[in-house]
Copies of this chain bind each other. A is one copy, B any other.
Protein backbone atom coordinates (compact mmCIF):
# COMPACT_ATOMS: atom_id res chain seq x y z
CA UNK A 1 0.00 0.00 0.00
CA UNK A 2 2.87 2.31 0.76
CA UNK A 3 4.00 1.73 -2.83
CA UNK A 4 0.72 2.98 -4.23
CA UNK A 5 0.80 6.04 -1.99
CA UNK A 6 4.32 6.86 -3.14
CA UNK A 7 3.29 6.56 -6.78
CA UNK A 8 0.88 9.36 -6.16
CA UNK A 9 3.50 11.48 -4.44
CA UNK A 10 4.67 13.34 -7.47
CA UNK A 11 7.43 15.87 -7.23
CA UNK A 12 6.61 19.42 -8.29
CA UNK A 13 9.14 19.09 -11.12
CA UNK A 14 6.75 16.76 -12.87
CA UNK A 15 4.15 19.51 -13.12
CA UNK A 16 6.20 22.44 -14.38
CA UNK A 17 4.37 24.41 -17.07
CA UNK A 18 5.53 24.43 -20.68
CA UNK A 19 6.40 28.13 -20.44
CA UNK A 20 8.44 27.68 -17.29
CA UNK A 21 10.30 24.71 -18.80
CA UNK A 22 10.98 26.68 -21.97
CA UNK A 23 12.50 29.63 -20.12
CA UNK A 24 14.52 27.25 -17.96
CA UNK A 25 15.76 25.44 -21.09
CA UNK A 26 16.95 28.70 -22.64
CA UNK A 27 18.87 29.57 -19.45
CA UNK A 28 20.32 26.05 -19.35
CA UNK A 29 21.53 26.22 -22.97
CA UNK A 30 23.11 29.63 -22.40
CA UNK A 31 24.94 28.39 -19.30
CA UNK A 32 25.96 25.18 -21.06
CA UNK A 33 27.47 26.97 -24.05
CA UNK A 34 29.41 29.33 -21.81
CA UNK A 35 30.74 26.47 -19.72
CA UNK A 36 31.68 23.85 -22.33
CA UNK A 37 33.45 26.33 -24.59
CA UNK A 38 35.96 26.62 -21.76
CA UNK A 39 36.15 23.01 -20.65
CA UNK A 40 35.21 20.39 -23.28
CA UNK A 41 37.69 20.05 -26.17
CA UNK A 42 35.00 18.78 -28.58
CA UNK A 43 32.62 21.69 -27.91
CA UNK A 44 35.38 24.30 -27.94
CA UNK A 45 35.68 23.72 -31.67
CA UNK A 46 32.02 23.01 -32.35
CA UNK A 47 30.61 26.10 -30.62
CA UNK A 48 33.40 28.59 -31.26
CA UNK A 49 31.11 30.84 -33.35
CA UNK A 50 28.12 30.73 -31.01
CA UNK A 51 27.45 33.41 -28.45
CA UNK A 52 25.39 32.12 -25.46
CA UNK A 53 23.44 35.41 -25.46
CA UNK A 54 22.16 34.67 -28.96
CA UNK A 55 19.95 31.85 -27.58
CA UNK A 56 16.67 33.55 -26.72
CA UNK A 57 13.88 31.28 -27.98
CA UNK A 58 13.11 27.59 -28.45
CA UNK A 59 13.62 28.15 -32.14
CA UNK A 60 17.17 29.37 -31.44
CA UNK A 61 17.78 26.07 -29.60
CA UNK A 62 16.47 24.04 -32.53
CA UNK A 63 19.09 25.66 -34.77
CA UNK A 64 22.05 24.74 -32.56
CA UNK A 65 24.29 21.97 -33.91
CA UNK A 66 23.60 18.31 -33.15
CA UNK A 67 25.99 15.91 -31.45
CA UNK A 68 26.25 12.54 -33.21
CA UNK A 69 27.29 9.13 -31.97
CA UNK A 70 30.27 9.33 -34.34
CA UNK A 71 31.42 12.46 -32.46
CA UNK A 72 31.45 10.51 -29.19
CA UNK A 73 33.35 7.65 -30.76
CA UNK A 74 35.95 9.99 -32.16
CA UNK A 75 36.28 11.63 -28.75
CA UNK A 76 37.37 8.27 -27.24
CA UNK A 77 38.35 8.08 -24.48
CA UNK A 78 38.25 11.52 -22.82
CA UNK A 79 37.80 14.32 -25.37
CA UNK A 80 34.23 14.91 -24.14
CA UNK A 81 35.36 15.31 -20.52
CA UNK A 82 34.38 18.66 -19.02
CA UNK A 83 36.05 18.31 -15.62
CA UNK A 84 39.40 17.27 -14.17
CA UNK A 85 39.69 13.50 -13.57
CA UNK A 86 39.98 14.19 -9.83
CA UNK A 87 36.31 15.18 -9.88
CA UNK A 88 35.16 12.06 -11.78
CA UNK A 89 33.54 9.34 -9.64
CA UNK A 90 32.32 6.77 -12.14
CA UNK A 91 33.06 5.86 -15.76
CA UNK A 92 30.86 3.77 -18.05
CA UNK A 93 31.27 2.68 -21.65
CA UNK A 94 28.75 1.46 -24.19
CA UNK A 95 30.99 -1.12 -25.87
CA UNK A 96 34.67 -1.76 -25.94
CA UNK A 97 35.91 -4.55 -28.11
CA UNK A 98 36.74 -2.22 -30.97
CA UNK A 99 38.06 1.31 -30.77
CA UNK A 100 34.55 2.62 -31.14
CA UNK A 101 33.45 2.55 -27.50
CA UNK A 102 31.57 5.55 -26.17
CA UNK A 103 32.92 6.58 -22.76
CA UNK A 104 30.69 8.55 -20.40
CA UNK A 105 31.63 9.83 -16.97
CA UNK A 106 29.96 11.07 -13.78
CA UNK A 107 30.96 13.50 -11.05
CA UNK A 108 29.39 13.21 -7.58
CA UNK A 109 26.87 15.81 -8.80
CA UNK A 110 26.08 13.66 -11.87
CA UNK A 111 25.51 10.56 -9.74
CA UNK A 112 23.05 12.60 -7.67
CA UNK A 113 21.34 13.73 -10.89
CA UNK A 114 21.12 10.09 -12.00
CA UNK A 115 19.77 9.05 -8.59
CA UNK A 116 17.13 11.76 -8.80
CA UNK A 117 16.02 10.73 -12.30
CA UNK A 118 15.95 7.03 -11.37
CA UNK A 119 14.20 7.78 -8.08
CA UNK A 120 11.37 9.32 -10.11
CA UNK A 121 11.22 6.17 -12.28
CA UNK A 122 10.79 3.99 -9.18
CA UNK A 123 8.28 6.35 -7.56
CA UNK A 124 6.22 6.43 -10.77
CA UNK A 125 6.16 2.60 -10.48
CA UNK A 126 5.05 2.74 -6.83
CA UNK A 127 8.35 1.34 -5.54
CA UNK A 128 9.28 2.35 -1.97
CA UNK A 129 10.83 1.14 1.31
CA UNK A 130 8.62 -1.96 1.62
CA UNK A 131 9.79 -3.34 -1.71
CA UNK A 132 12.43 -5.92 -2.58
CA UNK A 133 13.91 -5.22 -6.02
CA UNK A 134 15.28 -8.16 -8.00
CA UNK A 135 17.75 -6.42 -10.32
CA UNK A 136 18.63 -8.66 -13.26
CA UNK A 137 20.06 -5.91 -15.45
CA UNK A 138 23.75 -6.52 -16.13
CA UNK A 139 26.09 -4.66 -13.80
CA UNK A 140 29.43 -3.48 -15.14
CA UNK A 141 30.13 -0.91 -17.84
CA UNK A 142 26.49 -1.10 -19.01
CA UNK A 143 24.48 1.51 -17.09
CA UNK A 144 21.40 -0.70 -16.59
CA UNK A 145 22.53 -2.54 -13.46
CA UNK A 146 23.98 0.32 -11.45
CA UNK A 147 21.20 2.68 -12.59
CA UNK A 148 18.51 0.44 -11.07
CA UNK A 149 20.74 -0.17 -8.03
CA UNK A 150 21.01 3.55 -7.29
CA UNK A 151 17.24 3.91 -7.80
CA UNK A 152 16.51 1.33 -5.11
CA UNK A 153 18.93 3.01 -2.70
CA UNK A 154 17.31 6.37 -3.53
CA UNK A 155 13.74 5.33 -2.66
CA UNK A 156 14.73 3.14 0.31
CA UNK A 157 13.87 -0.22 -1.29
CA UNK A 158 15.99 -3.36 -0.77
CA UNK A 159 17.97 -4.29 -3.88
CA UNK A 160 19.12 -7.81 -4.74
CA UNK A 161 22.01 -7.19 -7.18
CA UNK A 162 21.52 -10.30 -9.33
CA UNK A 163 23.12 -8.91 -12.50
CA UNK A 164 22.62 -11.10 -15.62
CA UNK A 165 23.24 -14.80 -16.00
CA UNK A 166 22.62 -17.99 -13.96
CA UNK A 167 19.02 -17.91 -15.12
CA UNK A 168 17.89 -20.81 -12.91
CA UNK A 169 19.28 -19.03 -9.86
CA UNK A 170 17.31 -15.92 -10.91
CA UNK A 171 14.10 -17.94 -10.69
CA UNK A 172 15.01 -19.45 -7.34
CA UNK A 173 15.98 -16.11 -5.80
CA UNK A 174 12.87 -14.36 -7.14
CA UNK A 175 10.81 -16.87 -5.21
CA UNK A 176 12.93 -17.29 -2.07
CA UNK A 177 13.71 -13.64 -1.38
CA UNK A 178 10.14 -12.52 -1.98
CA UNK A 179 10.94 -9.84 -4.58
CA UNK A 180 8.07 -7.44 -5.26
CA UNK A 181 9.80 -5.70 -8.19
CA UNK A 182 11.78 -7.14 -11.11
CA UNK A 183 14.10 -5.07 -13.31
CA UNK A 184 15.67 -6.39 -16.53
CA UNK A 185 15.44 -6.17 -20.28
CA UNK A 186 12.00 -7.44 -21.37
CA UNK A 187 13.55 -10.29 -23.34
CA UNK A 188 15.56 -11.46 -20.33
CA UNK A 189 12.44 -11.33 -18.15
CA UNK A 190 10.79 -13.66 -20.68
CA UNK A 191 13.79 -15.97 -20.49
CA UNK A 192 13.61 -16.03 -16.67
CA UNK A 193 9.86 -16.70 -16.78
CA UNK A 194 10.48 -19.60 -19.16
CA UNK A 195 13.21 -21.03 -16.88
CA UNK A 196 10.87 -20.71 -13.88
CA UNK A 197 8.22 -22.68 -15.74
CA UNK A 198 10.72 -25.49 -16.29
CA UNK A 199 11.64 -25.42 -12.59
CA UNK A 200 7.99 -25.68 -11.58
CA UNK A 201 7.85 -22.16 -10.15
CA UNK A 202 4.60 -20.39 -11.02
CA UNK A 203 3.56 -16.75 -10.66
CA UNK A 204 1.57 -17.77 -7.58
CA UNK A 205 4.83 -18.67 -5.82
CA UNK A 206 6.03 -15.10 -6.30
CA UNK A 207 5.26 -11.78 -4.62
CA UNK A 208 5.98 -9.66 -7.68
CA UNK A 209 3.78 -6.65 -8.31
CA UNK A 210 5.66 -4.57 -10.87
CA UNK A 211 8.36 -4.99 -13.53
CA UNK A 212 10.58 -2.16 -14.81
CA UNK A 213 11.80 -3.11 -18.25
CA UNK A 214 13.90 -1.29 -20.81
CA UNK A 215 17.11 -1.08 -22.86
CA UNK A 216 15.35 -2.46 -25.95
CA UNK A 217 12.13 -1.56 -27.72
CA UNK A 218 9.25 -3.91 -27.07
CA UNK A 219 5.63 -4.16 -28.09
CA UNK A 220 2.47 -3.79 -26.03
CA UNK A 221 1.81 -7.48 -26.77
CA UNK A 222 5.11 -8.45 -25.15
CA UNK A 223 4.15 -6.27 -22.21
CA UNK A 224 0.81 -8.12 -21.81
CA UNK A 225 2.64 -11.44 -22.12
CA UNK A 226 5.03 -10.51 -19.28
CA UNK A 227 2.17 -9.21 -17.15
CA UNK A 228 0.37 -12.53 -17.48
CA UNK A 229 3.44 -14.72 -16.98
CA UNK A 230 4.72 -12.91 -13.90
CA UNK A 231 1.56 -11.45 -12.39
CA UNK A 232 2.80 -7.87 -12.60
CA UNK A 233 2.22 -4.47 -14.11
CA UNK A 234 5.02 -4.20 -16.68
CA UNK A 235 6.37 -0.66 -17.10
CA UNK A 236 8.67 0.74 -19.73
CA UNK A 237 11.81 2.69 -18.74
CA UNK A 238 13.95 4.59 -21.22
CA UNK A 239 17.42 6.03 -21.11
CA UNK A 240 20.90 5.85 -22.57
CA UNK A 241 24.41 6.07 -21.21
CA UNK A 242 25.24 9.06 -23.42
CA UNK A 243 22.62 11.12 -21.53
CA UNK A 244 22.72 9.57 -18.03
CA UNK A 245 21.77 5.87 -18.24
CA UNK A 246 18.23 4.63 -17.55
CA UNK A 247 16.07 7.36 -16.04
CA UNK A 248 15.36 9.74 -18.91
CA UNK A 249 11.70 8.68 -19.10
CA UNK A 250 9.34 5.99 -17.80
CA UNK A 251 5.73 4.92 -17.51
CA UNK A 252 3.63 5.51 -14.40
CA UNK A 253 1.38 2.94 -12.72
CA UNK A 254 -1.76 4.46 -14.20
CA UNK A 255 -1.36 2.44 -17.33
CA UNK A 256 0.34 2.31 -20.64
CA UNK A 257 -0.24 5.92 -21.58
CA UNK A 258 3.30 6.79 -22.56
CA UNK A 259 6.57 7.66 -20.82
CA UNK A 260 6.98 10.70 -18.58
CA UNK A 261 10.16 12.55 -19.40
CA UNK A 262 12.32 14.17 -16.70
CA UNK A 263 12.32 17.22 -18.94
CA UNK A 264 13.60 19.62 -16.31
CA UNK A 265 16.77 17.46 -16.17
CA UNK A 266 17.08 16.44 -19.83
CA UNK A 267 15.86 18.72 -22.61
CA UNK A 268 14.14 16.79 -25.37
CA UNK A 269 13.02 17.35 -28.94
CA UNK A 270 11.54 15.14 -31.65
CA UNK A 271 12.87 15.90 -35.13
CA UNK A 272 12.52 14.73 -38.70
CA UNK A 273 15.63 12.51 -39.09
CA UNK A 274 16.11 13.71 -42.67
CA UNK A 275 15.70 17.49 -42.33
CA UNK A 276 16.72 17.83 -38.66
CA UNK A 277 13.72 20.16 -38.07
CA UNK A 278 11.22 19.63 -35.22
CA UNK A 279 8.07 17.65 -36.10
CA UNK A 280 4.67 18.66 -34.67
CA UNK A 281 3.44 16.97 -31.45
CA UNK A 282 1.89 13.60 -32.25
CA UNK A 283 4.11 12.94 -35.27
CA UNK A 284 6.87 10.33 -35.17
CA UNK A 285 10.49 11.35 -35.48
CA UNK A 286 13.94 10.93 -33.96
CA UNK A 287 14.36 11.75 -30.27
CA UNK A 288 17.06 14.35 -29.57
CA UNK A 289 18.28 14.77 -25.99
CA UNK A 290 20.48 17.23 -24.14
CA UNK A 291 22.05 16.51 -20.74
CA UNK A 292 23.12 20.08 -20.11
CA UNK A 293 23.48 19.71 -16.35
CA UNK A 294 25.77 16.72 -16.41
CA UNK A 295 29.23 17.92 -15.44
CA UNK A 296 31.63 15.16 -16.49
CA UNK A 297 30.36 14.45 -20.00
CA UNK A 298 27.60 16.98 -20.78
CA UNK A 299 26.03 16.72 -24.18
CA UNK A 300 23.98 18.98 -26.43
CA UNK A 301 21.27 17.90 -28.90
CA UNK A 302 22.29 14.27 -29.10
CA UNK A 303 20.77 12.33 -31.99
CA UNK A 304 19.61 9.22 -30.11
CA UNK A 305 18.57 7.28 -33.20
CA UNK A 306 15.36 6.30 -31.34
CA UNK A 307 11.99 6.82 -33.00
CA UNK A 308 9.09 8.14 -30.91
CA UNK A 309 6.53 10.95 -30.82
CA UNK A 310 5.27 13.48 -28.28
CA UNK A 311 1.84 12.43 -27.00
CA UNK A 312 -0.68 15.25 -26.85
CA UNK A 313 -2.21 16.30 -23.50
CA UNK A 314 -1.36 15.23 -19.96
CA UNK A 315 -1.48 11.65 -18.61
CA UNK A 316 -4.44 10.59 -16.42
CA UNK A 317 -2.00 10.65 -13.47
CA UNK A 318 -1.69 14.41 -13.92
CA UNK A 319 1.94 14.49 -14.94
CA UNK A 320 2.67 16.68 -17.96
CA UNK A 321 4.39 15.85 -21.22
CA UNK A 322 4.94 12.28 -22.36
CA UNK A 323 6.56 10.47 -25.23
CA UNK A 324 5.29 7.29 -26.83
CA UNK A 325 7.11 3.96 -26.43
CA UNK A 326 10.19 3.82 -28.60
CA UNK A 327 9.03 2.41 -31.91
CA UNK A 328 12.50 1.30 -32.93
CA UNK A 329 15.83 2.75 -33.94
CA UNK A 330 16.42 4.81 -37.06
CA UNK A 331 18.91 2.19 -38.17
CA UNK A 332 16.67 -0.78 -37.17
CA UNK A 333 14.07 0.23 -39.69
CA UNK A 334 14.21 -1.84 -42.82
CA UNK A 335 12.32 -1.63 -46.06
CA UNK A 336 10.71 -4.72 -47.49
CA UNK A 337 9.57 -4.13 -51.08
CA UNK A 338 8.64 -0.57 -50.34
CA UNK A 339 7.14 -1.06 -46.88
CA UNK A 340 8.98 0.50 -43.90
CA UNK A 341 9.09 -1.88 -40.94
CA UNK A 342 10.44 -2.08 -37.39
CA UNK A 343 11.10 -5.45 -35.68
CA UNK A 344 8.75 -4.35 -32.88
CA UNK A 345 5.81 -4.19 -35.29
CA UNK A 346 6.40 -7.78 -36.34
CA UNK A 347 6.84 -8.82 -32.67
CA UNK A 348 3.53 -7.18 -31.93
CA UNK A 349 1.74 -9.28 -34.55
CA UNK A 350 3.56 -12.55 -33.79
CA UNK A 351 2.63 -12.40 -30.10
CA UNK A 352 -1.05 -12.35 -31.06
CA UNK A 353 -0.73 -15.88 -32.38
CA UNK A 354 -1.27 -18.00 -29.32
CA UNK A 355 0.42 -21.17 -30.57
CA UNK A 356 3.78 -19.33 -30.68
CA UNK A 357 6.39 -19.10 -27.91
CA UNK A 358 7.20 -15.40 -27.28
CA UNK A 359 10.60 -15.50 -28.98
CA UNK A 360 11.44 -14.95 -32.60
CA UNK A 361 14.19 -13.84 -34.93
CA UNK A 362 14.02 -12.02 -38.25
CA UNK A 363 16.52 -12.85 -40.97
CA UNK A 364 16.75 -10.42 -43.82
CA UNK A 365 18.40 -11.66 -46.99
CA UNK A 366 18.66 -10.62 -50.60
CA UNK A 367 17.82 -12.95 -53.46
CA UNK A 368 19.07 -11.29 -56.68
CA UNK A 369 17.49 -7.83 -56.37
CA UNK A 370 14.67 -8.75 -53.98
CA UNK A 371 14.79 -8.52 -50.20
CA UNK A 372 13.45 -11.60 -48.47
CA UNK A 373 12.38 -11.72 -44.85
CA UNK A 374 12.46 -15.05 -43.08
CA UNK A 375 10.67 -15.18 -39.75
CA UNK A 376 12.02 -17.78 -37.32
CA UNK A 377 9.41 -18.88 -34.82
CA UNK A 378 9.00 -21.55 -32.15
CA UNK A 379 5.76 -23.44 -31.41
CA UNK A 380 4.65 -23.33 -27.77
CA UNK A 381 4.61 -27.13 -27.65
CA UNK A 382 5.66 -30.09 -29.73
CA UNK A 383 2.17 -31.14 -30.82
CA UNK A 384 1.47 -28.17 -33.04
CA UNK A 385 1.54 -29.02 -36.75
CA UNK A 386 4.23 -26.96 -38.48
CA UNK A 387 2.32 -26.53 -41.77
CA UNK A 388 -0.63 -25.07 -39.88
CA UNK A 389 1.65 -22.64 -38.05
CA UNK A 390 3.48 -21.54 -41.20
CA UNK A 391 0.22 -20.85 -42.97
CA UNK A 392 -1.16 -18.94 -39.99
CA UNK A 393 1.90 -16.70 -39.59
CA UNK A 394 2.17 -15.96 -43.34
CA UNK A 395 -1.52 -15.10 -43.61
CA UNK A 396 -1.55 -13.00 -40.45
CA UNK A 397 1.50 -10.90 -41.38
CA UNK A 398 0.17 -10.39 -44.89
CA UNK A 399 -3.22 -9.29 -43.61
CA UNK A 400 -1.94 -6.96 -40.84
CA UNK A 401 1.32 -5.54 -42.20
CA UNK A 402 0.87 -6.25 -45.90
CA UNK A 403 4.11 -8.17 -46.22
CA UNK A 404 5.03 -11.54 -47.67
CA UNK A 405 7.47 -13.53 -45.58
CA UNK A 406 9.05 -16.94 -45.44
CA UNK A 407 8.47 -18.76 -42.16
CA UNK A 408 10.84 -21.22 -40.58
CA UNK A 409 9.64 -23.24 -37.58
CA UNK A 410 12.45 -23.98 -35.12
CA UNK A 411 12.72 -26.60 -32.40
CA UNK A 412 11.37 -25.40 -29.04
CA UNK A 413 14.13 -23.55 -27.07
CA UNK A 414 16.43 -23.28 -30.08
CA UNK A 415 16.12 -19.55 -30.82
CA UNK A 416 18.82 -17.85 -28.74
CA UNK A 417 17.52 -16.30 -25.50
CA UNK A 418 19.23 -13.14 -24.37
CA UNK A 419 20.48 -12.13 -20.92
CA UNK A 420 20.76 -8.53 -22.06
CA UNK A 421 19.51 -6.84 -25.19
CA UNK A 422 17.88 -9.30 -27.59
CA UNK A 423 19.04 -9.53 -31.21
CA UNK A 424 15.76 -9.56 -33.12
CA UNK A 425 17.02 -8.77 -36.59
CA UNK A 426 19.82 -10.52 -38.43
CA UNK A 427 20.60 -8.64 -41.63
CA UNK A 428 22.46 -10.81 -44.12
CA UNK A 429 22.01 -8.45 -47.05
CA UNK A 430 25.42 -6.85 -46.67
CA UNK A 431 27.40 -10.05 -46.15
CA UNK A 432 30.17 -10.62 -48.63
CA UNK A 433 29.86 -7.25 -50.29
Using a CB–CB distance below 8 Å, which chain A residues touch chain B? Answer: 76-77, 85-93, 96-97, 103, 105, 108, 111, 129-130, 132, 139-141, 145-146, 149, 152-153, 156-163, 165-166, 168-169, 172-173, 176-178
Contact = CB atoms under 8 A, between A and B. Distances in A.
Given A77-B177, A139-B139, A177-B103, A89 B158 contact: yes
Given A85-B130, A85-B132, A96-B169, A162 B141 contact: yes
A88 B161 contact: no
Given A145-B139, A168-B97, A76 B176 contact: yes
Given A139-B145, A140-B162, 18 more contacts: A77-B177, A86-B130, A87-B129, A88-B158, A89-B153, A89-B159, A90-B152, A90-B159, A91-B159, A96-B172, A96-B173, A97-B172, A105-B158, A108-B156, A111-B153, A139-B161, A141-B160, A146-B161
29 contacts: A76-B176, A77-B176, A85-B178, A86-B130, A89-B152, A89-B153, A90-B153, A90-B158, A91-B158, A91-B159, A91-B160, A91-B177, A92-B161, A96-B166, A96-B169, A96-B172, A96-B173, A97-B166, A139-B139, A139-B140, A139-B163, A140-B161, A140-B162, A140-B163, A140-B165, A141-B160, A141-B162, A146-B161, A163-B163
A90 B153 CA distance: 8
Contacts of A163: 139-141, 163
Which 6 A-B pairs have CB atoms at the shortest separation, nearest pair first?
A139-B139, A140-B163, A88-B158, A86-B129, A96-B169, A91-B160
Oligomeric state, in copies: 2
A78 to B, nearest CB: 8
A379 to B, nearest CB: 30
Name, among A92, A105, A173, the residue most crowded by chain B CB atoms within 10 Å (CB to CB): A173
Nearest to A106: B158
Contacts of A176: 76-77
Contacts of A161: 90-92, 139-141, 146
B89 A156 contact: yes
A134 to B, nearest CB: 10
A294 to B, nearest CB: 15
A12 B177 CA distance: 39
Contacts of A152: 89-90
A363 to B, nearest CB: 27
A240 B108 CA distance: 28
Contacts of A145: 139
Nearest to A97: B169
Contacts of A92: 161
A140 B160 CA distance: 8
Nearest to A169: B96
A385 B86 CA distance: 51
Contacts of A149: 146
Nearest to A180: B85
Contacts of A177: 77, 91, 103
A153 B153 CA distance: 15
A112 B146 CA distance: 18
